[in-house]
């Protein structure tokens, strides 16, 4: 009888594991379906996306160029922040290059558009494994993760994109001008994708800091003591990606990145303070 009971428990455990895999399969299917649907829509309107979004940093009328130039005049800095548009001609070196680039463009765009839904599906899969106390600390998680992702993606597209392409297109190796930069469209698309997705992930720093503080891996004191190193690293990054050596353009890039770091310290302090209050309530 005892053997039969153990067999029933083992079978129930196996079924529970299989059900768990079924839920995971459903999560993956729904996530991929949302990305595919968004990618199909983007592919259908690929010409509009190409003309108005993808080639934005190469467009002389791009909003970033006009905004920075207007800001420069408003601050009475002359044309210090007026970046010349990128002058380059993209090329495709293979017959299927443009078609494959269109598919790549659609898939990356689909991932970006469907990001909130994909993360929501992942969250629904993880949520049942969390305790009630852990769930209390993760309220509005979907909103904040999506918010910082799109904020970072926008920063990468509207700020880092123009600065980076302007710098790379104008960079000249040697003094005899014997090298001409003629990039391929796939190379441009890869760089733009890296900037958008990279900044989108980098701007998740406050969320990551919040979670790491909650589980005790980092403290506000640790972040505060590393502030001087963070400032140096951010200054180096800002100096590297800005095309002009003047401090105006470098400051434009430095301020958002440093603000993100300081905000992460604030988030860590807030999370640490709430964690101590919860511990005190448990003792009471």
- Distance between CA atoms of 118 and 239, rounded to whole angstroms? 35
What token pair was written down for 11?
Answer: 């079978």
**Cα 217 from Cα 142, distance rounded (Å):** 22
Find residue 91's DSSP bridge partners.
Answer: 184
- pLDDT the model gives residue 10: 45
- pLDDT tens by residue, 174-186: 778 788 888 899 9
User: Strand, helix or coil at 75?
Assistant: coil
CA 135 to CA 214: how far, in whole Å? 12
Q: Mind listing the pLDDT tens digit for each residue in 68-80?
A: 888 888 877 777 7
Integer Cα distance of 42 and 52 in angstroms: 12
Residue 246 DSSP class = S
pLDDT digits (tens, 9 = 90+) for 206-263: 998 888 888 778 888 888 888 888 888 888 877 766 555 556 667 777 888 889 889 9
d(CA 85, CA 77): 19
Give dist(CA 119, CA 142) in Å, integer: 7
pLDDT of residue 14: 47
Report the b/e string of 168-184 with b at 16+ CB within 10 A. Answer: bbeeeeeeeeeeeeebe
Under 8 Å between Cβ of 163 and 242: yes
Residue 141 exposure: Cα atoms within 13 Å on the Cβ side? 17
**Banded model confidence at residue 106, pLDDT cuts 50, 70, 90:** very high
**Domain parsing of the chain, residue ranges:** 2-203
Distances in Å between the Cα of 50 and the Cα atoms of 11, 86, 87, 98, 192 are 55, 16, 17, 11, 12
DSSP three-state, residue 184: strand
| Percentage of residues in the chain having pLDDT higher than 90 | 26
What is the pLDDT, as a whole number, of residue 249? 61
**Who wins on pLDDT, 20 or 149?**
149
Closest CA to 138 of 274, 260, 27: 274
Q: What is the pLDDT, as a whole number, of residue 103?
A: 95
Residues paired with 184 in a beta bridge? 91
How far is residue 148's CA from residue 166's CA, in Å, rounded to a whole number?
26
Kindly tell me if the per-residue pLDDT of 169 is higher than 70: yes
Residue 172 pLDDT: 79
Percent of the chain with pLDDT over 70: 85
Stretch among 57-66, 79-88, 113-122, 136-145 having the lowest mean pLDDT:
79-88
Measure the CA–CA gap between 75 and 152, rounded to whole angstroms. Answer: 26
Residue of 86 and 233 predicted with greater confidence: 233
pLDDT band (50, 70, 90) for residue 3? very low
Give the pLDDT mean for 14-31.
78
Opening angle at CA 150, ends 145 and 154, nearest 5: 150
What are 119-145's pLDDT values in tens digits?
999 888 888 777 776 666 677 788 999
DSSP letter assigned to residue 156: I
- In the predicted model, is pLDDT for residue 1 greater than 60? no
pLDDT at 210: 86
Residue 54 to residue 192: CA distance in whole angstroms:
8
């Amino acid at each position: 009888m005892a053997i039969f009971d153990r067999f029933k428990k083992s079978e129930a455990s196996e079924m529970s594991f299989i059900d768990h895999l079924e839920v995971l399969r459903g999560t993956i299917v729904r996530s991929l379906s949302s990305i595919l649907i968004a990618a199909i829509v983007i592919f259908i309107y690929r010409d509009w996306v190409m003309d108005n979004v993808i080639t934005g940093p190469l467009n002389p009328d791009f909003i970033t160029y006009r905004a920075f130039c207007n800001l420069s005049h408003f601050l009475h800095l002359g044309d210090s922040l007026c970046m010349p548009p990128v002058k380059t001609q993209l090329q495709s070196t293979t017959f299927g290059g443009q078609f494959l680039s269109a598919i790549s463009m659609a898939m990356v765009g689909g991932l970006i558009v469907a990001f909130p839904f994909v993360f929501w599906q992942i969250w629904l899969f993880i949520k049942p494994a969390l305790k009630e106390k852990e769930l209390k600390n993760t309220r509005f998680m979907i909103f904040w993760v999506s918010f910082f992702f799109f904020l970072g993606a926008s920063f990468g597209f509207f700020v880092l994109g123009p600065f980076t392409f302007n710098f790379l297109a104008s960079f000249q190796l040697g003094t005899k001008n014997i090298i001409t930069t003629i990039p391929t469209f796939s190379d441009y698309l890869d760089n733009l994708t890296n900037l958008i997705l990279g900044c989108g992930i980098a701007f998740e720093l406050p969320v990551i800091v919040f979670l790491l503080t909650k589980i005790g891996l980092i403290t506000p004191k640790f972040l505060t003591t590393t502030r001087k190193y963070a400032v140096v690293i951010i200054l180096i990054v800002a100096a590297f990606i800005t095309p002009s050596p003047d401090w105006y353009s470098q400051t434009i890039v430095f301020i958002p990145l440093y603000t993100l770091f300081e905000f992460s310290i604030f988030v860590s302090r807030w999370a640490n303070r709430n964690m101590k209050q919860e511990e005190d309530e448990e003792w009471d």
